[in-house]
């Protein structure tokens, strides 16, 4: 199987910018760029486009011109700088303020068929986040993609038939590259060039038989008002970039009858396995797994022929007797946010490279929408800025600096300011404590904005969420925070920070002085005395003390 498959000039290749482009248009545009690129002295090109059709034109033009395409995951300024340091010339949508002319209607260039590419010599590079935090250049040969596309067509080609391919994922990552561009071009299917931002726009763009290339981030947001009739009419729904939650799979099946085809793989390995309405995954043909010293190794025909050793996976697996496997979680710190691959290690490194952050810990928390949270220790300079400009201004500054390197969608949405990162008895970052502080239920607990810890005391800056379930009943016309809820918060945070093993026996000198309302910002001070096991608390704001008192426990553990 080679590609693009040369076919009749009138055959549809892609739907782009409101019109269909045919094979004759594609060959003419590729030949135009081949002639132009051959005259340039550069060998490496950093390729980034917003739409998939111009990407396909430039990708094959680069290959036919004997150049090497480096495919970037985003077009942030920092990424551009790194690629230029690798000797790449930027090609495509790198300047957000100026439209790039792709010459897609190359009228003066004849639509001559394209000669076949050498599948073992033609190479491209996928530039993606590595497990160490440094971006990683992964070289791929055309033969690796050909083998994978042939396997996909053997499995699902008959099911898709003449479906047009529509997507809510980018073609700049290996999943989108394969499913949106290379597979359709090889199999003779038409693909849609734009990324459809939601299922409503995708369904409205369908002109006949169609399949959907999606991700868990999109599929788990479907709700009662989603266009289920349109989804039901699709020939297939694909998903990759993480496991789709069972609740989302069940909802899609019950509302549309679709059983999502999930793909498991990575930029390094390509596809590894797939599943359809099941907890276990099936390996693609020709692959097998073995475990050595607790780490799983993959033998795959999609790996480079030069890789003699099997590939060590970053995931922990449970291999079943029938050869299927269950995923148990990642061993490294790469996460997927809105189908975009993010190295938490790199995010932490970029934060500490700013003049505002001394230490950083980040974590991805699975909600209705996966979010990245950051716990940071401020430098002296940022501590002064915090006093003069406030917390929101500081966080805006950090987000601005991070956007040099990362897509906005993967930036932290929750921030926790610390005087020091908490450590376990083994001297490691206390991830359990940090996750508990960052992953609070806004219907029952306050948002923790900053923490200052001493040996037997802690001070927390809290914001009272407006969506607390306690407000409507206390009271509807004038909501205030009940005193019993304040005591429950003291109990919650006290047990997080101190070794309190006994139940609370009684309360002492509890006073409620000022009412606390939705949106109030409070400082909670906790002092723990293990003997005779008393937890003293004080809620205060700029208006003074709101409540105070002591919780009395039994003997401490």
Residues 292 and 345 in one domain: no
Residues 342 and 413 in one domain: yes
Among the candidates 332, 367, 386, a domain finishes at 332
- pLDDT digit string (tens) for 461-489? 999 999 999 998 888 789 999 999 999 99
**Listed residue (360, 310, 315, 312) closest to 334, CA to CA:** 315
Residue 300 domain-assigned?
Answer: yes
What average pLDDT does range 433-461 have in this prediction?
93
Residue 474, token pair as written in the block: 């206390």
Residue 186 domain-assigned?
Answer: no
The structure tokens 């009138």 sit at 10
Contacts of 189 (CB under 8 A, 6+ apart): 160, 162, 163, 164, 165, 183
Judge if the upstream peptide bond of residue 475 is cis by omega within 30 degrees of 0.
yes
Written as one string, the DSSP assignment of 256-314 is: H----EEEEEETTTEEEEEEESSSSBEEPTT-EEEEETTEEEEE-TTS-TT--SPEEPS
503: phi then psi, degrees, rounded to nearest 5: -75, 155
Residues 289 and 414 in one domain: no
How many CB atoms neighbour CB 444 within 10 A?
Answer: 15
Q: What is the per-residue pLDDT for 501?
A: 79
> Is 64 strand, coil or helix?
helix
Yes or no: say if 412 and 394 are a contact pair by the CB < 8 Å rule: no
- pLDDT digit string (tens) for 402-439? 999 999 999 999 999 998 888 876 567 888 899 999 99
Residue 526 domain-assigned?
Answer: yes
Residue 276, token pair as written in the block: 């359809």
CATH of the domain at 320: 3.40.50.12780
What average pLDDT does range 367-378 have in this prediction?
88
- Its domain, for residue 480, covers 335-553
CA distances from 365 to 140, 151, 352, 423, 439 (A): 32, 34, 21, 20, 7
Residues 372 and 453 in one domain: yes
Yes or no: say if 115 and 64 are a contact pair by the CB < 8 Å rule: yes
- pLDDT digit string (tens) for 236-266? 999 998 888 888 999 999 999 999 999 999 9
Q: Residue 416: in which H helix or E strand, if any?
A: strand 414-418
Long-range contacts of 452-456 (CB under 8 A, 24+ apart): 452/418, 452/419, 453/418, 453/419, 453/420, 453/422, 453/497, 456/498, 456/527, 456/528, 456/529, 456/530
Q: What is the per-residue pLDDT for 1?
A: 41
Q: What is the per-residue pLDDT for 131?
A: 47
Judge if the upstream peptide bond of residue 330 is cis by omega within 30 degrees of 0.
no
Q: What is the per-residue pLDDT for 49?
A: 96
Residue 148 domain-assigned?
Answer: no
Q: How many domains does the chain have?
A: 3
CA 117 to chain centre: 34
10 Å CB burial of residue 285 (0-12, 13-18, 19+) is: exposed
How many CB atoms neighbour CB 212 within 10 A?
Answer: 27
Residues 120 and 242 in one domain: no
Give the integer Cα–Cα distance in Å for 95 and 89: 13
Q: Angle at Cα 438 formed by Cα 432 and Cα 443, nearest 5°?
A: 120
């Amino acid at each position: 199987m080679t590609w693009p498959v040369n076919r009749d000039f009138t055959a549809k290749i892609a739907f782009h910018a409101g019109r269909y482009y045919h094979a004759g248009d594609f060959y003419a545009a590729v030949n135009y760029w081949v002639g132009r690129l051959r005259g340039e002295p550069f060998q490496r090109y950093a390729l980034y486009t917003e739409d998939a059709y111009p990407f396909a034109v430039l990708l094959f033009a680069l290959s036919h011109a004997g150049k090497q395409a480096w495919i970037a995951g985003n077009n942030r300024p920092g990424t551009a700088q790194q690629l230029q340091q690798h000797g790449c010339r930027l090609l495509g949508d790198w300047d957000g303020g100026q439209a790039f002319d792709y010459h897609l209607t190359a009228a003066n260039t004849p639509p001559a068929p394209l000669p076949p590419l050498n599948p073992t010599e033609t190479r491209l590079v996928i530039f993606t986040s590595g497990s160490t935090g440094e971006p990683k250049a992964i070289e791929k040969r055309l033969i690796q993609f050909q083998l994978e596309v042939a396997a996909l067509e053997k499995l699902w080609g008959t099911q898709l038939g003449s479906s047009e391919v529509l997507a809510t994922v980018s073609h700049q990552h290996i999943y989108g590259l394969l499913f949106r561009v290379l597979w359709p071009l090889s199999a003779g299917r038409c693909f849609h060039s734009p990324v459809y931002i939601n299922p409503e726009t995708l369904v409205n763009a369908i002109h006949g038989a169609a399949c959907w290339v999606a991700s868990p981030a999109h599929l788990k947001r479907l709700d009662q008002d989603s266009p289920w009739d349109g989804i039901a009419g699709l020939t297939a729904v694909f998903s990759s970039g993480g496991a789709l939650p069972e609740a989302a799979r069940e909802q899609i099946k019950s509302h549309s009858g679709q059983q999502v085809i999930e793909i498991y793989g990575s930029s390094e390995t390509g596809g590894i396995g797939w599943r359809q309405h099941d907890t276990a995954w099936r390996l693609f043909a020709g692959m097998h797994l073995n475990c050595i010293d607790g780490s799983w190794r993959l033998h795959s025909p999609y790996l480079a022929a030069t890789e003699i050793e099997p590939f060590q996976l970053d995931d922990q697996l449970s291999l079943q007797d029938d050869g299927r496997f269950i995923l148990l979680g990642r061993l490294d710190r790469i996460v997927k946010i809105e189908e975009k691959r993010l190295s938490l290690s790199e995010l932490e490194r970029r934060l500490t490279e700013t003049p505002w952050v001394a230490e950083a810990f980040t974590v991805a928390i699975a909600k209705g929408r996966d979010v990245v949270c950051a716990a940071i220790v401020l430098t002296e300079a940022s501590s002064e800025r915090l006093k003069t400009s406030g917390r929101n201004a500081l966080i805006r500054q950090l987000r601005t600096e991070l956007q040099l390197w990362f897509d906005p969608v993967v930036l932290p949405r929750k921030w926790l300011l610390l005087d020091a990162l908490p450590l376990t008895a083994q001297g490691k970052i206390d991830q359990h404590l940090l996750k508990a502080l960052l992953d609070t239920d806004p219907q029952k607990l306050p948002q923790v904005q900053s923490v200052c810890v001493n040996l037997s005391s802690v001070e927390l800056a809290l914001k009272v969420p407006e969506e607390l379930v306690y407000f409507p009943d206390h009271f509807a016309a004038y909501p205030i925070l009940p005193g019993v809820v304040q005591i429950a918060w003291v109990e919650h945070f006290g047990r997080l920070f101190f070794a309190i093993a006994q139940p609370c026996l009684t309360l002492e000198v509890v006073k409620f002085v000022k009412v606390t309302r939705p949106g109030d910002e409070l400082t909670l001070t906790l002092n723990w005395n293990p003997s005779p096991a008393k937890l003293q608390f004080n809620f205060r704001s700029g208006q003074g003390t709101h409540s105070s008192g002591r919780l009395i426990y039994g003997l401490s553990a």
